[in-house]
């Protein structure tokens, strides 16, 4: 029992005299004491996701500007696309141009 007591006191004295002082980086010190590794990792992941989404949005806008904006449909192209979708000019509230488009809509109206 006396040996155990002496060993305990010796360990306590060694613990008080411990000279190990870890070198803590500046970035770690900036985080503050309240954050732990898990929280900082989650925060980093969210930040990376935000950056990637912002980058993807920018690339999408650039792609649209380069490919879609210069391409504009004329009225006839709009009629063709909408006729394939099943939307007639009357449903759109647009007057039908004369010519083959007018004949096509007249035939559609007569068959219904």
Range of the domain at 85: 40-91
pTM given for the model: 0.34
In-domain check, residue 52: yes
The chain-wide mean pLDDT, for the chain, equals 74
**How many domains does one find in the chain?**
1
In-domain check, residue 78: yes
Q: What is the pLDDT of residue 100?
A: 47
Read off the pLDDT of each residue in 45-72 and give the average, rounded to a whole number: 85
In-domain check, residue 87: yes
How far CA 93 is from CA of 29, 58, 80, 87, 111, in Å, comes to 66, 36, 16, 11, 20
Read off the pLDDT of each residue in 73-92 and give the average, rounded to a whole number: 72
In-domain check, residue 20: no
Read off the pLDDT of each residue in 61-89 and give the average, rounded to a whole number: 74
In-domain check, residue 69: yes
- Give the residue, 68 or 59, on which the prediction is more confident: 59
In-domain check, residue 105: no
């Amino acid at each position: 029992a006396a040996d155990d007591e002496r060993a305990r006191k010796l360990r306590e004295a060694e613990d008080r005299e411990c000279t190990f002082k870890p070198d803590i980086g500046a970035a770690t010190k900036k985080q503050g004491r309240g954050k732990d590794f898990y929280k900082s990792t989650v925060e980093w992941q969210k930040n990376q996701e935000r950056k990637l989404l912002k980058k993807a949005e920018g690339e999408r806008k650039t792609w649209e500007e380069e490919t879609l904006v210069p391409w504009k449909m004329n009225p006839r192209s709009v009629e063709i696309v909408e006729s394939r979708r099943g939307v007639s000019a009357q449903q759109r509230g647009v007057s039908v141009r004369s010519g083959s488009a007018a004949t096509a809509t007249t035939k559609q109206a007569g068959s219904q």
